[in-house]
Amino acid sequence: MSTTSGDGERDWARLRSLTADSGFTENGEERSERVKGLMQRWKNAAFRARKLMSDPWMDYNINLLPVIRAKRHRYSAIRKTWTVDIVEVKLLGDPFARGAMRECFRMKKLSSMSRNQDWTHANNYVAKRYIQEVDREVLFSDVRLQMDAKLWAEEFNRHSPPKKIDIVQMCVMEMLEMPGQPLYHLEHFIEGDYVKYNSNSGFVTDLSRKTPQAFSHFTFERSGHQMMVVDIQGVGDLYTDPQIHTVAGTDYGDGNLGTKGMALFFHSHACNDICHSLCLTEFDLSDKEKQEMAEGTTVTRGGGRGGEEATRFVRPASVCEPLVAQTEEEEGDAMACLRRRTMSVMSNSSGGTGGDSSSCGEKEKKKHDEECVCEECLAECVTGVVLQDEEDEEEEEEGEYGDDEEEEEKGPVSRKVAFHTLSVERKQRERNDSLGSSYGGSSSRLTRDTEREEYWQGVRKQSMPAGVLSAIQMELLADAACRAHVSHQASVLGQIHLDLARYHELGRFLPEEDNSEKRMALGETAENGEKNEEGVVNYDRESALYHLDVARRCGVLEAIVTVAQMAYGLPHELLKDVGEDEGWGGELDEDGNARGNDKEAFAFELMETAAEMGERSAMLFVAEAYETGRRMGKEGRTRWPAAIQWYQRAMGFDEEEEGGGGGGGTKEGSTRPRYEILAKMAEMYQEGGYELDQDYERAYELYTEAGEVAMEAMKGKLANKYYEMAEMCAV
């Protein structure tokens, strides 16, 4: 059990009172036992402190190995530039750990800022090498990923969470004197129990750590739904090897699963106290999913290492609001906004640290000497004083950290730096937490109010929550997204829900005991050699429909078309076993009142929405409905002008997609070739009626154009028929 400065003062005060000649009434035996207990506690603390000073790799005699010259490639996430220099290292050839893709080696490196050439005191590092040969760019991409994730960790710390986090600095080492000049990833060695808190495929550890899960959720909302940092693993709250999911799914290597990875995270994420303190929105899950999560999640609130302690908030956390502007005029790149944000904080903090940076006044300085360990002086030491020696200068430059496993908000910090102590390690980490690690400098930690005042001087950004708060708000969101002529680019939140529906259909979230049944349903051979000929997975249909409906309300085109096809009883790709028997049509209006249960009217409204979003097959469906007066619901009626309008839009869509060519073939998802649409429009103008004026001249033009298009499509007989119809209109 670690001891804080407050505990230490109380213990020494009790020890002095117990060893005094007067002032107590206890008998000698009780006093002796209490003294022994206090002394044993301090002996244990001293033993642990001395253990931290010892080299855990002393037995490997790495200092006796030959020196290897290496080229070090370091990446600045702020400037997006690389820095190259030459360093000397000693590498132990036998790996001490091996993963699925990389193996780890022990390495020592001397500080380039120090004149001391004693390798016994060199820093310990972990060199990671890919087991299979990979392209050189993969290693540099991994470094960019980790350093970008480090920026998000610093942004998370600015919001005053109960526990600060950090991500280990990583660089690429090119071993110049080894055969083939292999490339390694280099990280500072972290001593302690290595734990994987979550993964890029939705795994969440049974340890139920709150901070890693809240950090992943924070990055999603803070980036405006553009990205998410996952695959959190490391020692305590010092993480390494993260993964970033982006909406495009093209950056940051093959581990970037895009919105599918975000969907896997949210399916297994239950918001905790830290999420609530940051005002993060709970992701919308079905009642059954919430029940399963509540039954399957046990949170340990004891003080053990394996469980999450009850969260203590020293000060209120700042509200998380998106960095990305929601206006089309402003740039929408989350990483670019984060870089500008970090550089702004750097410039403001560096400009305000001149002069006396102490939090105590002159009167306090006279009252407290440098040996004082009160809370005021500790705060002064943490926030205002930069402790450095020769080794620390390079540590600050490289952004390397100590091996303390759990950061304490008010840990003891020594002001006398004669050797590399745990206090220096903690102080160094505090300095790195305040942006020093990312840009090779140090800055004082800003308070919550000051930081907020500096950053929110511009226009406040519109919040982008991870959940939709109520059914009425969901309906309003769908109305705003679909009726305001939104583009084909669907909302990220809706796409995540659509991916969840697809995962449910595939049986991704079935319990372990149902895996054999799932394999049989997907056509794979089970252990007994049987196959499920029907190919149906008994998935959570209720949850799948819930996520599909939320995606539809969020304005996702694929979800809108799928639900419309389900309501009509038409074939569809997603959730193929769901049909018109489902209770579609019970929608709410803006006042929260039911619109009725007219499935056809509900389905037609969705088809019209999809047509407005640019879906050609929906345009043709709506045009045919207005032409015939069918499939429009009880209140639908034939309107040829509307049919003409939608036919024209469908052809205009074709011209944009095909470069204006007049090919008669049908595209995927289309139901009619272009010459048939032209002939149908000509027929309506020829006959007239249903609010459309008869126009033979327009019919002649359309029949003629239909004949030309049919001729280009090698439909000679059909072209002659259209020419004959045109002649009839010309008489």
Give 448-483 as a DSSP string: HHHHHHHHTTSPPPPP--SS---HHHHHHHHHHHHH
- Cα torsion through 652, 656, 659, 660, rounded to 10: 10
The structure tokens listed for 444 are 């004082």
**Coil/strand/helix, residue 184:** strand
pLDDT band at 5 (very low <50, low <70, confident <90, very high): low
- Cβ contacts of residue 390 below 8 Å, gap of 6+? 111, 113, 114, 115, 116
Q: What is the mean pLDDT of residues 1-6?
A: 51
pLDDT of 587 higher than 60: no
pLDDT digits (tens, 9 = 90+) for 670-708: 568 999 999 999 999 999 999 999 999 999 999 999 999
Inter-axis angle of helices 334-351 and 136-157, nearest 10:
60
Q: Which range among 239-243, 527-531, 540-544, 574-578 shows the weakest confidence by mean pLDDT?
A: 527-531
**What 3-state DSSP class applies to 20?**
coil
Residue 666 has pLDDT above 60, yes or no: no
DSSP string, 157-178: HTT--SS--EE--EEEEEETTS
pLDDT > 70? residue 641:
yes
Closest CA to 200 of 279, 263, 250: 263
CB 300 within 8 A of CB 208: yes
The whole-number pLDDT of residue 584 equals: 65
Ranked by mean pLDDT, the top range of 330-339, 372-381, 451-460, 514-523 is 330-339
**pLDDT at residue 301 tops 60:** no
> Cβ contacts of residue 658 below 8 Å, gap of 6+?
667
What mean pLDDT comes out for the span 16-22?
A: 55
Q: Residue 348 has what pLDDT?
A: 61
Q: Is 117 exposed, middle or buried (0-12, 13-18, 19+ CB in 10 A)?
A: exposed
| pLDDT at site 468 | 55
pLDDT at 546: 94
Distance CA 53, CA 496 (A): 48
Tokens read off for 619? 């345009």
In DSSP terms, 107 is beta-bridged to 91, 125
Q: How many residues would you count in the chain?
A: 731
The structure tokens 């690389």 sit at 82
Residue 318 pLDDT level (bands cut at 50, 70, 90):
low
Q: How confident is the model at residue 294 (pLDDT cuts 50, 70, 90)?
A: confident
Q: Alpha helices of 158-297 — where are they, by DSSP H? A: 210-222, 259-267, 273-277, 287-296
**Residue 273 CA neighbour count, 13 Å, CB half:** 15
Residue 298: pLDDT over 60: no
Rounded Cα gap, residues 396 and 405, in angstroms = 19
- How confident is the model over 188-227, as pLDDT tens digits? 998 888 888 877 666 666 555 788 999 999 999 989 889 9
Binned at pLDDT 50, 70 and 90, residue 47 comes out as confident
Most confident of 279-283, 387-391, 412-416, 445-449: 279-283
Give mean pLDDT, residues 349-360: 43
- Please check whether residue 183 is in contact with residue 139, taking contact to mean a CB–CB distance below 8 angstroms: yes
Alpha helix (H) ranges present in 368-491?
375-384, 390-398, 422-431, 437-439, 448-455, 471-483
Half-sphere exposure of 509 (CA within 13 A, CB side): 24
Enumerate residues 6+ apart whose C-beta is below 8 A from 38: 11, 14, 15, 18
pLDDT at 302: 36
- The pLDDT value given to residue 411: 41
- Paired tokens of 169: 């600095």
Q: What pLDDT does 529 receive?
A: 39
Beta carbons of 651 and 601 less than 8 angstroms apart: no
Note the pLDDT of residue 56. 86
622 versus 207: which is more confidently predicted? 622
pLDDT average, residue stretch 42-67: 83
Give the CATH fold of the 614-731 domain.
Answer: 1.25.40
Query: What tokens were used for 14?
Result: 């009790």
Both tokens assigned to 719: 């072209």
Mean pLDDT, the chain, as a whole number? 74
Q: Of all residues in the chain, what percent carry a pLDDT higher than 70?
A: 60
* β-bridge mates for residue 76, sequence order: 81
The percent of residues in the chain predicted with pLDDT above 90, rounded, is 39
Least confident window among 107-121, 265-279, 474-488, 561-575: 474-488
For residue 18, pLDDT over 80 is answered with no
Q: What is the average pLDDT across 464-471? A: 55
